[in-house]
Structure 1
């Protein structure tokens, strides 16, 4: 999965974002560049978080920005990865709701989406891989993490 992010240019490393909204926008950029999603998708995600709360924070340090399946402006099923050096808070005063790793989902094919979710779940259950991702700084690091923590 991490090698696929590199191959498709679906990754971003950034120092920080001014707030969670900017982080969500940034996490969608590489999906916009290759036409996986249209520009409205990031705004749809932000609107959903404002409406339903920070449901995209799935565990400490990890957010999974997404909007409903078959969202308007989604043309391909994919996941993008973004890592921030400095966490953003989705709920001030609650460090459990801070995020540094973003796995942004786009879905228009339910079967492929389910397969992506399964791979992502396996990745996030691997504590060694998550710890390594928090230290990653380059696409080469992503490939190394896949080879050392996820294969074998």
Structure 2
């Protein structure tokens, strides 16, 4: 479940980012701070986007930064970040990105239920309206719990 993999400490709202790389680093930072990932995991996300292109931009305005478990995932977790001003990732269909759901998966399967929950949330206009108006991570957690 998504609510089991995130917490108030993993949420950053209305952050300022200069570009896509800065956005990814700032969105992933709480996961590193909370011991869910190593710094190498963030570098692996950025390297894979530079190599493979902006495949992490999964739907309009939404990115799912992630990397292989062996690159530094310590625990499965999902960080939620919103950007004050959207940034381009180079994905013609889905740019600019405003919402980042940073995924740390310690293996290939344990996070799949949370991803299914996230996919449902991404269909929910109300969820994005909340993300746009709140500055309080607790409001996001409360929403996920109901």
What is the TM-score normalised by the length of structure 2?
0.87
1:6 equivalent to 2:42? Answer: no
Aligned length: 145
Counterparts of 1:95 and 1:118 in 2: how far apart (Å)?
22
SS in 2 for 1:96: coil
Hey, what does 1:85 align to over in structure 2? 84
Hey, what does 2:107 align to over in structure 1? 109
Distance 1:119 1:17, change over 3 A: same
For structure 1, which runs of at least 5 residues remain unmatched after alignment? Answer: none
CA RMSD across the alignment: 2.1
SS in 2 for 1:102: strand
Distance 1:15 1:114, change over 3 A: closer
SS in 2 for 1:47: helix
Hey, what does 1:137 align to over in structure 2? 135
Hey, what does 2:75 align to over in structure 1? 76
Hey, what does 1:25 align to over in structure 2? 25
Counterparts of 2:36 and 2:4 in 1: how far apart (Å)?
18
What is the TM-score normalised by the length of structure 1?
0.84
Hey, what does 1:34 align to over in structure 2? 34
Counterparts of 2:24 and 2:111 in 1: how far apart (Å)?
20
Hey, what does 1:45 align to over in structure 2? 45
Q: Structure with the greater relative contact order (CA < 8 A, sep ≥ 6): 1 or 2?
A: 2
Counterparts of 1:10 and 1:50 in 2: how far apart (Å)?
25
Distance 1:39 1:87, change over 3 A: same
Distance 1:123 1:30, change over 3 A: same
Return the offset for 1:85. 1.3
Distance 1:35 1:44, change over 3 A: same
